[in-house]
């Protein structure tokens, strides 16, 4: 369980790298996409709603960075073939993939287990756990060809300390950390592949506003405050680090 502090980098940290970000239309995903693009990467913006992705695309274009790609897909209904199609599109249009930030998340809302349904659990496990597994697998041939590929999965403090009302969401996040450890173990002999989990902590975002509507947004950490950790994990300085859970907030 690590924390990255005082990390400063040059603006070409991610130069020539191609990075796929899921859930890039808002919140942490949007900020990570803008940050990675700003540090030299070509980013593939995945999300469910095209309009949101187009807005991020325009923001990247406005700062004069490498042209992004947009790939909309509803993960709640995605199957193996859909993930393979993403990998094929990346291979055809960009010819390489150097990293994935698995950021997309779905929560039905907080409620006691006795009120949660199979349908809700299926959707939460599909978006939050099955997708990172399946999308990584589909992209593996591309990642294996990259000189220094980094996969980041997004966990949550609730994944460590499960508590009432978080139900299937927390079970999926706990599963993410197990998945990271299994995958890191299996990649131990492949030096150009690494995988880690990031735990954002409390951050102002549309998801946070949904689960904690009473909080004062202005006094919360903003997605930008976490980007040194996201850059460190995606860039070359974390090479050799794998199977770790990295906390963005010291009290987690
Ligand atoms: N914010 C926090 O305080 C906090 C704390 C701990 C962990 N995290 C984790 O950090 C990550 C980002 O959090 P956030 O607060 O920025 O989240 P957010 O604002 O809710 O954004 C989630 C993203 O996931 C996408 N998504 C949801 N369901 C999808 C589906 N079925 N198919 C495709 N895309 C889907 C959304 O796309 P559309 O907008 O296109 O629907 C959205 O861009 C998540 O993994 C979250 O669990 C956040």
pLDDT value for 216: 86
Atom of ligand 1 at shortest range from CA of 169 = 47
Q: Which CATH architecture has domain 14-247?
A: 3-Layer(aba) Sandwich (3.40)
pLDDT value for 159: 87
The average confidence (pLDDT) of the chain is 95
Instruction: Name the β-bridge partners of 19.
Output: 43, 99
Q: Locate 93 and state its tokens.
A: 């249009």
pLDDT by residue (tens digit) across 112-167? 999 999 999 999 999 999 999 999 999 999 999 999 999 999 999 998 889 999 99
Within 13 Å of residue 40, how many CA atoms lie on the same side as its CB? 14
Point out the least confidently predicted range of 27-36, 58-67, 83-92, 204-213: 204-213
Share of the chain above pLDDT 90, in %: 87
Q: What CA–CA distances, in Å, run from 173 to 106, 115, 127, 167?
A: 11, 20, 11, 10
User: Mean of the pLDDT values across residues 82-89?
Assistant: 98
Ligand 1 close to Cβ of residue 29 (< 6 A): yes
- C-alpha–C-alpha distance, residues 47 and 30, integer Å: 10
Ligand 1 close to Cβ of residue 27 (< 6 A): yes
Q: Which of 48, 110, 226 to mutate to test the pocket of ligand 1 (most atoms within 8 A of CB)?
A: 48
pLDDT value for 224: 96
pLDDT value for 252: 43
Write down the domain spans for the chain: 14-247
pLDDT by residue (tens digit) across 157-212? 998 889 999 999 999 999 999 999 999 999 999 999 999 999 999 999 988 887 88
Residue 249, Cβ neighbours under 10 Å: how many? 16
Q: Which of 31, 205, 223 to mutate to test the pocket of ligand 1 (most atoms within 8 A of CB)?
A: 205
Atom of ligand 1 at shortest range from CA of 28 = 16
Q: Looking at the predicted structure, is the pLDDT value of residue 2 above 80? A: no
DSSP string, the chain: -EE--S----TTTTTT-EEEETTTTSHHHHHHHHHHHHTT-EEEEEES-HHHHHHHHHHHHHTTPPPPEEEE--GGG--HHHHHHHHHHHHHHTS---EEEE----------GGG--HHHHHHHHIIIIIHHHHHHHHHHHHHHHSSSEEEEEE--HHHHS--TT-HHHHHHHHHHHHHHHHHHHHTTT-TTEEEEEEE--S--SHHHHHH-TTS-GGGSPPGGGGHHHHHHHHSGGGTT--S-EEESSTT-
Ligand 1 close to Cβ of residue 132 (< 6 A): no
């Amino acid at each position: 369980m690590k924390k990255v502090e005082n990390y400063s980098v040059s603006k070409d940290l991610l130069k020539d790298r191609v990075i796929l970000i899921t859930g890039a239309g808002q919140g942490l995903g949007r900020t990570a996409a803008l940050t990675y693009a700003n540090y030299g990467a070509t980013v593939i913006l995945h999300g469910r709603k095209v309009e949101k992705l187009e807005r991020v695309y325009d923001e990247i274009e406005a700062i004069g960075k490498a042209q992004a790609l947009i790939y909309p897909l509803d993960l709640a209904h995605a199957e193996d073939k859909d993930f393979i199609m993403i990998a094929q599109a990346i291979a055809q249009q960009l010819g390489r993939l150097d990293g994935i930030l698995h950021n997309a998340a779905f929560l039905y809302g907080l409620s006691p287990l006795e009120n949660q349904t199979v349908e809700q659990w299926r959707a939460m496990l599909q978006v939050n756990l099955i997708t990172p597994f399946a999308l990584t697998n589909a992209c593996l041939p591309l990642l294996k060809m990259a000189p220094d590929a980094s996969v980041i999965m997004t966990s949550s403090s609730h994944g460590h300390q499960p508590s009432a009302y978080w139900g299937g969401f927390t079970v999926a996040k706990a599963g993410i950390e197990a998945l990271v450890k299994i995958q890191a173990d299996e990649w131990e002999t492949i030096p150009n592949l690494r995988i880690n989990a990031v735990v954002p902590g409390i951050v102002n975002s549309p998801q946070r506003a949904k689960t904690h509507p009473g909080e004062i947004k202005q006094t919360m950490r903003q997605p930008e405050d976490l980007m040194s950790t996201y850059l460190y994990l995606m860039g070359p300085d974390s090479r050799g680090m794998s199977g770790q859970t990295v906390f963005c907030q010291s009290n987690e």
